[in-house]
Structure 1
Amino acid sequence: MDSAKIINIILSLFLPPVAVFLARGWGTDCIVDIILTILAWFPGMLYALYIVLQD
């Protein structure tokens, strides 16, 4: 596991939309994560971890 992935995992815990943006760019995944994070932080964090670990 490289350092960029570790930083992305840490970001997904504290700033989920930023982690998704860095992993996938601005698109559907980022918009979904922003909405999930606004509604409740925990689902946004889980979704961000899913996206980051999927790559």
Structure 2
Amino acid sequence: MALTCTDPIKAIFAIILPPLGVFLEVGCNCTLLLNVVLTCLGYIPGIIHALYVIVKY
């Protein structure tokens, strides 16, 4: 769980457009699909999930 210099940029993208932040972190997989669904259901759950993914990976 090492932080890199691109994590703040990914966090900004995660706040503006959550699926983009997740895509930059993990690429195109089930985590991205989950984030898209959460963002469609509510913007705040998408942001929380995106920030969680960025901090976790």
- TM-score (ref. length: structure 2): 0.89
**Aligned-partner SS, 2:28:** coil
User: Aligned-pair distance for 1:31?
Assistant: 0.2
What is the percent sequence identity of the aligned residues?
A: 31
User: Structure 1, unaligned stretches of length 5 or more?
Assistant: none
Give the Cα–Cα distance (whole angstroms) in 1 for the partners of residues 20 and 6 of structure 2: 13
Q: CA deviation at 1:4?
A: 1.1
Q: Larger % of helix: which? A: 1
In the TM superposition, residue 2 of structure 1 has moved relative to its aligned partner by: 3.8
* Root-mean-square deviation over aligned CA pairs: 1.0
TM-score by length of 1: 0.92
**Deviations, residues 1-55 of structure 1 (Å, cap 9, x unaligned):** 5431110011111110000001000000000000000110000000000000112
Unaligned 5+ segments in structure 2 are none
Instruction: Count residues in correspondence.
Output: 55
Which of 18, 34, 37 is matched with 1:32 structurally?
Answer: 34
DSSP-derived class of the 1:45 partner: helix
- Choose which of 4, 9, 19 in structure 2 pairs with 1:17: 19
Structure 1 runs (4+) greater than 3 angstroms displaced: none
